[in-house]
């Protein structure tokens, strides 16, 4: 388990060969480049095309395929055709949005005029040509009688205490008549007749259906658009680098002409330097390689064996990468994650289902001529781990152990098996096991710290943290597990704790705790001066004191493994209790089976979410904090051609 050592490289090329050199550099595929921000018309065009293509793909994905839809055979497109196709799809979508807007406008107009019946503005124009001008008004019904006698009106209807009437005039009104009460308000004429609006709505809905069919037909180009999007991503990366490279004129050459140079900076794994030197020599490039500075944005490249690499799909999904100066904990992550996963699921039956799923995926991949993917192998490993823990605790789909075959009970491990020692004892022992896991994993973190700072007195600070951890472990056992068996005070029973009559365990535990605190206080900030280290601790005395509390909470945090597993087991048992009576009646068997499948399926999903929340947390938070890791790294991603 190691983070590959990197070299910082500054590469200098002739500006006249910039494009050709970048193509060769991309072909070499070993240099992770520092971020540059280019600017050019070509780069803007590429980005615009990428945005259009991404939008077109999203539009295609919005149209869902029905089971009756014919299978579409994907067709290929060249770059120009793909760009035009993306624009066509966007144009269809824009037209669809326009139709939706028109439908909404027409429906709003119809709702506004609903109580008026059919309205046609052409009829109003026809009356106006004959010298009869009509205007639409609404007024509260109790105010209608207040309209002046100089206003000639025609009552249309009175609905919901609102009267609708037409105001008649022999001339076109330029202002509101004086005889109209203030409560009367004019109703504007629509642009089209209500009949025309209804027809437009139907036509527009048919238009939307036709557009959906056209967009669905374009789904046969989805793969081509995805390929075009990848090409654009490569073009954007190249053009951004090409236009963002720094350049400068150098001294005059033998012909009296100035030579313009361009350069860039990046990072290369030490094991790739030999090949990189060959590429530089072949292309006539100059470079300078040096060890990165502490503040350089060095990428992280991990190098592990095939087994440890099984954890990569999970860390890639979580998008977590250790910093270049941090630890590679991939192996420990995999080991403890398998244990956490097994304890949270805690059921051999669920583990068997997970293994069956993994085997099915492997078989499908093998049938298609593909090697076993690391994801499938990881799933199998997690399922197998779950099976092992479920066998040890005699947990099979939440079935009561009294109803299980004797051989299943015999396979279980007595200290943690309710079938052998009872639920109270097994629960207590499982809690203790959680705290043992905590002390082991967190101790590994500080042992790594001791080894890292072994040439400095700072290692004593890590030793102090380790002693704090061990001392606090006994405090946790007293406060959480059993205050009688693990007393903090000295009693007659204490003197014979674990059969060691002469060793006062509580005094030793508390002594270790306070001695560890003293070492941590003095040396945790050591950087050449003990005095400065103590002064730094005094400056942060609140954080230092809270550190003791944090150690306690970090150890206790591991009990979540037992608590979540207990909740899952309770759900499984409840599901079985509900479905059991149904399975005993022939007419209800189907419902019982459905309830079992749905209930246990839901429980598996909940357990999976718990693994993500709790199992991952213990590795990336508690364990990582004791390691001093912040997961602030950037994954090594060299400038290269995508396959």
- pLDDT in the model for residue 500: 45
CA distance 398 to 394: 9
Look at residue 51 and give its three-state secondary structure: helix
**Distance (Å, whole) CA 48 – CA 622:** 44
Write out the two tokens for 321. 């990468």
Q: What is the distance between the alpha carbons of residues 337 and 334, in angstroms, rounded to a whole number? A: 5
pLDDT for the residue 268? 94
Determine the Cα–Cα distance for residues 423 and 416; give it in Å rounded to an integer: 9
Decide: 389 and 346 in contact? Cβ < 8 Å: yes
d(CA 589, CA 324): 59
User: How many whole angstroms separate alpha carbon 146 and alpha carbon 157?
Assistant: 17
The tokens describing 240, both together, are 């951004």
Tokens 């015999």, residue located: 410
How is residue 292 written in tokens?
């990165």
Q: Which of 320, 313, 379, 311 shows the shortest CA–CA distance to 351?
A: 379
Predicted pLDDT at 102: 95
- Residue 258: what pLDDT? 65
- Report yes or no: 125 and 172 within 8 Å, Cβ to Cβ: no
Tokens of 123: 């009829």
Residue 261: phi and psi, rounded to 5, are -115, 150
Query: According to the model, what pLDDT value does residue 379 have?
Result: 93
Tokens of 41: 């018309």
Joined tokens for residue 593: 């089976």
Instruction: Enter the tokens of residue 429.
Output: 């022992």
Three-state secondary-structure class, residue 371: coil
- Residue 143 carries which DSSP code? G
* Residue pair 472/537 in contact by the 8 Å Cβ criterion: no
Q: What is the mean pLDDT of each run of 10 residues along the chain (643 residues)?
A: 88 88 90 88 92 93 75 85 94 95 95 92 93 93 89 91 92 88 92 94 94 91 92 91 80 60 90 91 90 90 90 89 90 93 91 92 80 86 94 88 86 86 87 92 93 89 90 87 71 48 61 86 85 85 85 91 89 80 60 79 88 89 89 89 71
CA dist 359 and 345 (Å) reads 19
Dihedral in degrees, nearest 10, Cα atoms 480, 483, 488, 494: -140
Widest Cα–Cα separation across the chain: 121
Exposure string for 46-62, b = 16+ CB within 10 A, e = fewer: beebbebbeebbebbee
Name beta bridge partners: 135: 167
Q: From 167, 172, 163, 151, select the one nearest 116 (Cα to Cα).
A: 163
Question: Is residue 193 classed as helix, strand or coil in its secondary structure?
Answer: coil
Spatial distance between the Cα atoms of 33 and 242, rounded to a whole number of angstroms: 12
Tokens of 514: 């306070």
Q: Where are the beta strands (DSSP E) in 122-274?
A: 133-140, 152-159, 162-169, 185-186, 246-252, 258-269
- Check: CB of residue 613 under 8 Å from CB of residue 606: no
Burial of 618 (0-12, 13-18, 19+ CB in 10 A): buried
Question: What's the Rg (C-alpha) of the chain?
Answer: 38
Q: How confident is the model at residue 595, as a pLDDT? A: 80
Quick one: tokens of 50? Answer: 């990428």
Cβ burial 437-467 (10 Å sphere, 16+ → b, else e): bbbebbbbbbebbbeebeeeebbbbbbbbbb
């Amino acid at each position: 388990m190691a983070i590959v050592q990197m070299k910082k490289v500054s590469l200098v090329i002739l500006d006249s060969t910039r494009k050709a050199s970048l193509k060769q550099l991309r072909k070499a595929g070993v240099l992770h480049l520092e971020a540059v921000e280019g600017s050019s018309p070509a780069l803007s065009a590429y980005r615009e095309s990428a945005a259009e293509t991404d939008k077109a793909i999203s539009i295609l994905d919005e149209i869902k395929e029905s089971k009756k839809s014919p299978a579409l055979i994907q067709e290929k497109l060249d770059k120009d055709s793909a760009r035009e196709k993306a624009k066509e799809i966007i144009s269809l979508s824009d037209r669809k949005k326009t139709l939706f807007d028109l439908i909404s406008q027409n429906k709003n107009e119809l709702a506004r005029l609903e109580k008026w019946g059919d309205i046609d503005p052409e009829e109003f124009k026809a009356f106006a040509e004959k010298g009869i001008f009509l205007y639409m008004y609404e007024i509260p019904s109790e105010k209608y009688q207040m309209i002046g006698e100089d206003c000639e009106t025609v009552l249309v209807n009175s609905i919901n205490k609102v009267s609708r009437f037409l105001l008649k005039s022999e001339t076109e009104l330029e202002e509101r008549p004086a005889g109209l009460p203030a409560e009367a308000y004019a109703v504007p004429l629509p642009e089209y007749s209500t009949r025309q609006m209804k027809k437009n709505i139907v036509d527009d809905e048919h238009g939307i259906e036709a557009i959906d069919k056209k967009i669905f037909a374009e789904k046969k180009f989805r793969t081509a658009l995805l390929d075009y999007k990848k090409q654009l991503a490569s073009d954007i990366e190249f053009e951004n680098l090409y236009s963002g490279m720094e350049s400068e004129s150098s001294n005059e050459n033998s012909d009296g002409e100035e030579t313009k140079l361009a350069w860039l900076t990046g990072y290369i794994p030490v094991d790739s330097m030999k090949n990189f030197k060959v590429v530089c020599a072949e292309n006539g490039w100059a470079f300078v390689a040096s060890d990165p500075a502490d503040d350089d944005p060095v990428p992280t490249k991990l190098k592990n064996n095939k087994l440890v690499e099984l954890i990569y799909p999970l860390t890639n999904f979580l998008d977590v990468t250790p910093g270049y100066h941090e630890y590679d904990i991939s192996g420990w992550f995999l080991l403890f994650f398998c244990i956490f996963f097994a304890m949270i699921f805690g059921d051999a039956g669920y583990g068997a289902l997970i293994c069956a799923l993994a085997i099915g995926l492997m078989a499908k991949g093998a049938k298609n001529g593909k090697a076993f993917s690391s994801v499938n192998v990881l799933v199998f490993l997690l399922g197998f781990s779950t099976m092992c823990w479920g066998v040890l605790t005699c947990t099979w789909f939440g079935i009561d152990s009294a109803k299980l075959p004797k051989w299943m009970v015999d396979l279980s491990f007595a200290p943690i098996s309710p079938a052998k020692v009872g639920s109270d004892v097994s629960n207590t022992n499982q809690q203790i096991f959680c705290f043992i896991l905590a002390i082991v994993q967190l101790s590994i973190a500080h042992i790594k710290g001791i080894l890292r700072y072994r040439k400095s007195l700072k290692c004593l600070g890590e030793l102090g943290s380790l002693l704090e951890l061990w001392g606090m472990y006994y405090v946790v056992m007293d406060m959480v597990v059993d205050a009688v068996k693990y007393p903090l005070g000295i009693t007659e029973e204490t003197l014979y704790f674990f059969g060691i009559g002469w060793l006062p365990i509580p005094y030793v535990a508390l002594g270790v705790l306070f001695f560890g605190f003293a070492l941590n206080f003095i040396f945790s900030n050591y950087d050449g001066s003990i005095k400065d280290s103590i002064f730094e601790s005094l400056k942060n005395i609140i954080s230092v004191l809270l550190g003791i509390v944090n150690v306690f909470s970090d150890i206790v945090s591991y009990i979540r493994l037992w608590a979540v597993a207990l909740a899952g087991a309770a759900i499984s048992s409840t599901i079985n209790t509900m479905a059991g009576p149904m399975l005993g009646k022939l007419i209800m068997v189907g419902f019982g089976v459905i309830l079992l499948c749905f209930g246990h399926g839901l429980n598996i999903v909940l357990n999976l979410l718990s693994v993500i929340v709790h199992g991952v947390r213990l590795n990336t938070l508690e364990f990582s904090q004791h390691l001093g890791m912040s997961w602030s790294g950037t994954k090594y991603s060299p400038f290269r051609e995508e396959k």
